Amino acid sequence: MHFLKVPFAMDRPLTKGRLVKSYGHLHYYELDLRALGAAWSWVEVDKPIPLRPHRDHGISVALNIYFETGDGLTSFYDGPEEGEAYEGETLKNIYKFNELTKVSEFRAVRGDAFLLDVSQIHSVTELKGPRSFIQASWSSYSLLQIAQHLIPG
C-alpha cells in the first residue's frame, strides 16, 4: 500500500509559524502540534512546479492535509532501489520516469487528508497552481502502523 485517504475534518483554519527551510519554491513553516510524536510542518509550493520521482529522505510516512492542491496528480512507482543524487546532495533518491512502473495514483482536493508511504518512489505532476498543506511526518514507523492509530476500527 502506497497511500491511504484518511477521514479528516477541519474545525478551524490554522496559521503557519516561522519559515524553517526552503528549496526553491518549496517552503516549510513551523507548526506547533505534537500528535503521535510526529513532526508537523506547514508546506507551501508557491509555483506549479512538478516534483520529479523521488523517495523522501529523513521520513518514512507523511500525513498531508491539503488546503490548496494545484490539482496535482500524486503517483507512486516501482523502480530501482537507488536513483541519482539531487544537485548538491549525496543521497541518491531521484529517479527517471522511463525507469519506473506506475503502481498507484491519486488527485487530492481541498480538505483531503492522505497518509503516504514516502519511503516509496513518488512524484507530483500535472500541476495547475500552487499547493499548500499541513504535513505530519514520522521517520521510524510504517504507513500501516500510523494508520492503525489514525483510523478507528
Q: Does residue 151 carry a pLDDT above 70?
A: no
Q: Is the pLDDT of residue 67 over 50?
A: yes
pTM recorded for the entire structure: 0.79
The stretch 14-36 carries a mean pLDDT of: 68
In terms of DSSP H, where are the helices of the chain? 143-150
For residue 121, the cross-strand partners are 77
Q: Where are the beta strands (DSSP E) in the chain?
A: 3-5, 19-23, 26-30, 39-45, 51-54, 61-68, 73-78, 84-85, 92-94, 101-106, 113-117, 121-125, 131-138
Question: Could you read off the pLDDT of 97-128 as tens digits, one per residue?
Answer: 999 999 999 999 999 999 999 999 999 999 99
